[in-house]
Amino acid sequence: MKKLSDKEILEAYNELKEYWEKYLKNSGVKMPKLKNKNNEYTHAILALICLAHNYPNTNIISKDELTAFIRYYHPKTNDAQEGRHLGMQYGWFVSTGTRGEITEEKIPSGSYKLISLKQAHPSYSGERRTGIKTSDFEELKKEYGYRCAVCGSKEGEAHRIRKNCIVKLQEGHIDPTKDLISGNIIPQCQICNRPDRNRWIYDKNGRVTKVAPTEDGRRVVEDFLEKSDKKTLEALRAYIDKLL
């Protein structure tokens, strides 16, 4: 999809907002912000605009196409997750090929299609993203001393590694293939939560225990194998042989 001008983006945003107010707001669907604090378009709104292009005759959009569109505005983006997030976290009726959703049309794995702007995603309930009540999450954060379970950065303070970032704890998955509900949540800072979200399965202490059986998890393994030289692979094989 070609780059849109600011005017076109604004028009698309206003149109989406109209649908949202009329059909989706009451179902708890979240409207992405147009711009972030730095006055940049948010990834989520760009993804939604891309997916909703030509609505109701929307196309199947691959993750690469979605990433390419977002990259016009955020050149550093290399792996847009928003196609999936828009469905599962925001509640928009975006169908993905990976979740085995039943739609009339087969959507290939790693691709997305906006099905309707008049209906929330069938498996979305407004509760889903915030899997537990705010008060329960406060309690959970307290248990963890208000620190990120993964990196230990403390809420409201400068991040331990990214010093210019003030830590805000979020609900992170322990197992990303399961719902974000009580028992499957650890507090994670915004840095640990974002890129890792669907790659790993954690334990309660925030340690990675497994590669998640997701598309993102598979990519981690593939990347690793691709980048590893023969020697590393041989060493790994020897190590495994010794264990078994």
Binding residues for Zn ion (CB under 5 A): 148, 150-151, 153, 189, 192
Q: Output the smallest distance, CB 241 to Zn ion, in A.
A: 35
Q: Output the smallest distance, CB 187 to Zn ion, in A.
A: 9
What are 149's two structure tokens? 């379970």
Q: Give 71 or 168: the residue with its C-beta nearer to Zn ion.
A: 168
Three-class DSSP category at 243: helix
Q: Would you list the DSSP string of 84-136? A: HHHHHTS-EEEEETTTT---SSPPPTTEEEEEEEEEE-TT--TTTTS-S-HHH
Q: Output the smallest distance, CB 172 to Zn ion, in A.
A: 9
Q: Give 56 or 156: the residue with its C-beta nearer to Zn ion.
A: 156
Q: Give 50 or 150: the residue with its C-beta nearer to Zn ion.
A: 150
Alpha carbons 104 and 95: distance in angstroms, whole number: 11
Q: Output the smallest distance, CB 186 to Zn ion, in A.
A: 10
| Residue given tokens 């830590």 in the structure block | 167
Q: Give 121 or 147: the residue with its C-beta nearer to Zn ion.
A: 147
Helices (H) and strands (E) in the chain, counts: 8, 7
Alpha carbons 231 and 55: distance in angstroms, whole number: 52
Q: Output the smallest distance, CB 185 to Zn ion, in A.
A: 14
Alpha carbons 109 and 101: distance in angstroms, whole number: 11
Q: Give 19 or 202: the residue with its C-beta nearer to Zn ion.
A: 202
